[in-house]
């Protein structure tokens, strides 16, 4: 139930509760959400709070309103926003998140990684791989490459439960401003399937990202695999005037 003593706005708390029911299967695609009065009763809150929560779910593509019918569930997969750069924790702020380290090392980059980071082939990089969990379930594998001279990392630091690369950047006045991402559909190999509790050959989403700082310097290359049955991508596109190009 929403906690009125919590600093989180009530509508965000109601949104998080409904989203949990969507993701956990209480509501399935094609189901109707309870009516506004029913949601008011369930969460002991006002109609405007319920409307704000449902509007946020609609904005993110989980539900749609049909005149004369009600609010229909159209997707139960969590949406990954591509219109802004946020950390894993922020992306899943309404969920319990944690990570399990797979490996950490410092070595010379491959020609591909060196090119993406715009560094020499003999410049060492941090190579950190971990499994990402949401509510105790593995949802992705993240491998990150960062130039060694940019920040100081060690195995003890990156394996900590509260480690955040972007927060570490901020402490060094490195401001992440934009990124280039490529996404493709793949099938899980045996290693990926084992780590994510999938069958070999199951559908996965592979994301490759180059992140830049305020000086347009590449500061991170990330390779991320997500379970396709748990995630979908949502992109916000703008139609700019030709004179802007």
| Number of structural domains the chain divides into | 2
Question: Is residue 3 one of the residues assigned to a domain?
Answer: no
Q: Note the pLDDT of residue 71.
A: 92
Q: Which of 23, 52, 17 is nearest to 36 (CA)?
A: 52
Whether residues 106 and 175 fall in one domain: yes
Q: pLDDT by residue (tens digit) across 136-174?
A: 889 899 999 999 989 988 888 888 877 888 888 988 899
Percent of the chain having pLDDT more than 70?
A: 83
Burial of 148 (0-12, 13-18, 19+ CB in 10 A): middle
Q: Which two three-digit tokens encode residue 164?
A: 């955040």
Backbone dihedral angles phi then psi of residue 57, each to the nearest 5 degrees: -65, -40
Backbone dihedral angles phi then psi of residue 143, each to the nearest 5 degrees: -120, 125
Of 36, 57, 73, the position where a domain reaches its end is: 73
Q: Note the pLDDT of residue 243.
A: 44
Q: In angstroms, rounded to a whole number, what is the distance separating the alpha carbons of residues 44 and 84? A: 33
Q: Give the model's confidence band at 244: pLDDT under 50 very low, under 70 low, under 90 confident, else very high.
A: very low
Q: pLDDT by residue (tens digit) across 183-210?
A: 888 999 999 999 999 999 999 989 888 9
Q: In angstroms, rounded to a whole number, what is the distance separating the alpha carbons of residues 95 and 113? A: 32
Q: pLDDT by residue (tens digit) across 62-92?
A: 888 888 889 998 876 665 554 444 444 555 5
Question: Is residue 157 one of the residues assigned to a domain?
Answer: yes
Whether residues 28 and 99 fall in one domain: no
CB 219 within 8 A of CB 146: yes
Q: Which domain holds residue 117?
A: 78-234
- Write the DSSP symbol of residue 100: E
Q: Which of 169, 87, 167 is nearest to 132 (CA)?
A: 87
Q: Note the pLDDT of residue 157.
A: 86
CATH number at residue 106: 3.40.1410.10
Question: Is residue 239 one of the residues assigned to a domain?
Answer: no
Question: Is residue 242 one of the residues assigned to a domain?
Answer: no
- Threshold 0.85, pTM exceeds: no
Q: Residues, the chain, total?
A: 245
Burial of 235 (0-12, 13-18, 19+ CB in 10 A): exposed
Whether residues 87 and 192 fall in one domain: yes
Whether residues 24 and 98 fall in one domain: no
């Amino acid at each position: 139930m929403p906690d009125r003593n919590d600093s989180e706005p009530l509508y965000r708390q109601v949104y998080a509760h409904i989203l949990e029911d969507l993701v956990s299967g209480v509501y399935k695609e094609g189901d109707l959400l309870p009516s506004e009065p029913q949601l008011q009763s369930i969460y002991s809150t006002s109609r405007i709070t319920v409307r704000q929560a449902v509007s946020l779910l609609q904005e993110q593509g989980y539900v749609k309103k049909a005149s004369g019918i009600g609010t229909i569930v159209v997707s139960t997969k969590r949406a990954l926003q591509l219109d802004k750069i946020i950390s894993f924790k922020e992306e899943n702020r309404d969920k319990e998140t944690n990570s399990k380290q797979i490996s950490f090392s410092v070595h010379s980059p491959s020609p591909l990684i060196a090119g993406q980071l715009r560094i020499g082939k003999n410049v060492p990089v941090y190579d950190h791989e971990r499994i990402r969990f949401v509510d105790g379930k593995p949802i992705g594998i993240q491998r990150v490459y960062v130039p060694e001279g940019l920040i100081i990392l060690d195995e003890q630091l990156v394996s900590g439960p509260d480690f955040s690369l972007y927060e570490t950047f901020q402490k060094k006045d490195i401001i992440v401003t934009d990124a280039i991402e490529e996404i493709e559909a793949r099938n899980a190999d045996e290693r990926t399937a084992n780590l994510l509790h999938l069958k070999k050959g199951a559908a996965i989403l592979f994301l490759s990202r180059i992140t830049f700082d305020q000086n347009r310097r590449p500061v991170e290359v990330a390779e991320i695999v997500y379970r396709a049955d748990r995630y979908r991508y949502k992109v916000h596109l703008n139609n700019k005037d030709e004179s802007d190009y």
